[in-house]
Amino acid sequence: MGCEMRNNVVVTDGAGTTQRGGRHRAPRFAAIAVATGLLAGFAVMGVAAPSAIAATTKPLTAVSLTFDDTFSDQLNALAIMSKYKVVGTFYMNSGRVGADGFLTVADLKNIAAAGNEIGGHTVSHPDLPTLSVDEQKRQICNDRVNLTNWGFKLTSFAYPFASSNAQTEQIAAGCGYNSARMLGDIKSRFGCTDCDYAETTPPADPFATAALDEADNTWTLKDLQDSVTNAETAGGWVQLTFHHVCANNCDSLSVSTTIFDQFTSWLAARATSGNTHTKTVGQVIGGAVKPLVTGPAVAAAGPGQNGVVNPGLETTASTGVPSCWTTGGYGNNTAAFAPVTPTHSGVKAEKLTMTNYVDGDGKLLPTLDLGACAPTVVAGHTYSLRTWYNSTAVTQFAVYLRSSLGTWRYWTSSPWFPATAAYTQALWTTPAIPTGMTGISFGLNLFRNGTLSTDDYALYDTVGAPAIAGPVVAAPTPQIAPPVSGKVEVAPPGDATPPK
Ligand SMILES: [Zn+2]
């Protein structure tokens, strides 16, 4: 996933283009100046330049193999790298650790025990510059805290989608990292024709280090080798980025174990045949492990306060979806969302139209984030969920919880509410929030063909919650629950382009 969207990259390509000119050309001129100075020095001393040195001493080249996104098939890379005694840097999303298809804490410990570096890649892989400063701090700093609490030393960071700006760079530094990696800023047949073949050591900007385009299933063994040999001419630092490493083209963003084995074997031998050495990013950048910094916490709404942000859906994001809300759902169906009138109050309400229903559901939810949008909750408390709706089919609240690590998962669903033509208030009180859970997201869903309009959401701690106003459909007699799944598709894995 991702490479087919490469032509649509805006943030990654745009940021890289603006930075390329000065950042990568200046060091090249500096290198020429040094070489000229040396030759001049020999001339002044009246001694012939020792040509033997030029013939045999190759410039120093460092190669860092980096792995993004916490995919469990990166254990295939670990096995190959261990075989050839090569180390690299694995950038983790701590909120994914232990989830289906992702590495576990035990895996991370095995990776680190083999001499590899564990780096940070945010809690849940958002497009950072689209978030508030505080939310970016929670994503970057709390990920570093999570990984450090598992026993790792965190000095290196990589931006999801290689999406960054000056402010995001400052936040990465403020969270205690020593460097942060971009993508697509090194020349190859895949792009960046006006770039250099290598990053400088030290990099001009350690919080925007240049790397090749991410390797995908169109990369050949020769492409990987070329990325190294091209750099060896002048030396410097080559960062290669992998996502999936698997036997049989398991993803467009994959490299085969066969190619990876051949390349790693070849690369290991470059240390003796040339002057090319494989290093972790932390080994290249150096520096001490800085103290932990925790992102700003978001307090739960007080008694009688509605915890929902943009509860009336009156503010709309550039994506067309209400600000701080996301269109969720899963399964085989077509769920379409659009503003609708009449509203319950104000000028905006949102309509879900479900067609082609086979299974799964569709729903509008407070964005599953680290607290900027999703309400904060207190373990042990119960919450009153309220929404005004009209619909042509039954509906129910689907409820998700965020753990203290920042991981979202499905929790529970309310009983069904009946179809109703006039705006009616759906009301349900949750069970007590389990220990270790810090955030909530909820929405009415559709799990059959029909329409559902919603407006004026509320979430209150049941202690101090205001009295119910207007017609209410309290949770009716429980019925057999439909197959609500834990899955909510938020962002596609991969770093080629931000989620739409
Ligand atoms: Zn990523």
Ligand 1 centre from 379 Cα, in Å? 31
Question: What pLDDT was estimated at residue 321?
Answer: 96
Average pLDDT, the chain: 86
Say how many Å lie between the CA of residue 68 and the centre of ligand 1: 5
Task: Determine contact, residues 189/151, Cβ cutoff 8 Å.
Answer: no
What average pLDDT does range 328-338 have in this prediction? Answer: 94
Ligand 1 centroid to residue 69 C-alpha, Å = 5
52: left (phi over 0), alpha (psi -120 to 50) or beta: alpha
Cα 125 to averaged position of ligand 1 atoms, centre (Å): 6
Residues, beta carbon < 5 Å, ion ligand 1:
68-69, 160, 495
Compute the distance between CA of residue 336 and CA of residue 353 in angstroms, rounded to an integer: 5
Type of residue numbered 72: S
Question: Quick one: tokens of 483?
Answer: 């197959």
CATH classification of 325-474 is 2.60.120.260, yes or no?
Answer: yes
- Kindly report, as residue ranges, where domains of CATH 2.60.120.260 are found in the chain: 325-474
- Examine the pLDDT at 4 and tell me if it is beyond 90: no
Question: How far lies 428's CA from each of 10, 376, 377, 455, in Å?
Answer: 42, 18, 16, 16
Who wins on pLDDT, 441 or 49? 441
* CA 313 / ligand 1 centre spacing (Å): 30
Residue 482: is the preceding peptide bond cis (ω within 30°)? no
Mean pLDDT of 416-426: 95
Peptide bond preceding 202 in cis form (omega within 30 of 0): yes
493 C-alpha to center of ligand 1: Å?
Answer: 7
In this predicted structure, the answer to whether residue 80 has a pLDDT above a threshold of 60 is yes
Conformation bin of residue 355: beta by default, left when phi > 0, alpha when psi is -120 to 50: beta
Burial (CB count <10 Å: 0-12, 13-18, 19+), residue 439: buried
Mean pLDDT confidence for 132-142: 98
For ligand 1, the distance from its centroid to the CA atom of residue 243, given in whole angstroms, is 8
Distance (Å) of CA 394 to CA 352, 358, 419, 447, 450? 13, 16, 5, 8, 9
Judge whether 22 and 30 are in contact, CB under 8 Å: no
For residue 494, pLDDT beyond 80:
no
Q: What is the pLDDT of residue 473?
A: 66
The answer on pLDDT for 10 being more than 50 is no
pLDDT value of position 18: 28
The C-alpha atoms of residue 270 and residue 231 are separated, in whole angstroms, by 13
Q: What is the pLDDT of residue 57?
A: 76
Q: Residues of the chain with pLDDT > 70: what percent?
A: 83
> What pLDDT shows up at residue 128?
98
Domain 60-285's class?
alpha beta
Q: E strand or H helix at 397, and its extent?
A: strand 395-403
Q: CA-to-CA distance for 270 and 445, rounded, in angstroms?
A: 57
The pLDDT of residue 468: 85
Whether residue 37 has pLDDT greater than 80 = no
Q: Measure 414 CA to ligand 1 centroid, in angstroms.
A: 35
pLDDT digits (tens, 9 = 90+) for 473-490: 665 544 444 444 444 433
CA dihedral 349, 355, 358, 361 (to 10 degrees): -10
Q: Can you read off the two tokens belonging to residue 87?
A: 């180390």
- pLDDT band, residue 276 (cuts 50/70/90): very high
Model confidence pLDDT, tens digit, residues 342-392: 999 999 999 999 999 999 999 999 999 999 999 999 999 999 999 999 999
The Å distance, Cα 143 to ligand 1 centre, comes to: 13
The pLDDT assigned to 126 comes to 96
Sorting pLDDT into bands at 50, 70 and 90, what band is 274? Answer: confident
Give how far Cα 262 sits from Cα of 222, 243, 256, 258, 279, Å: 10, 17, 10, 6, 18
- What are the start and end residues of each CATH 3.20.20.370 domain in the chain? 60-285
Distance 470 CA to ligand 1 centre (A): 47
Q: How confident is the model at residue 9 (pLDDT cuts 50, 70, 90)?
A: very low
Give tens-digit pLDDT for 44-69.
Answer: 333 334 444 444 578 999 999 999 99
What is the pLDDT at residue 200?
97
Task: Flag whether pLDDT at 189 surpasses 70.
Answer: yes
The pLDDT of residue 476 is: 53
Please give the DSSP secondary-structure letter assigned to residue 319: T
Q: Could you tell me the distance, in angstroms and rounded to a whole number, from the CA of residue 406 to the centre of ligand 1?
A: 16
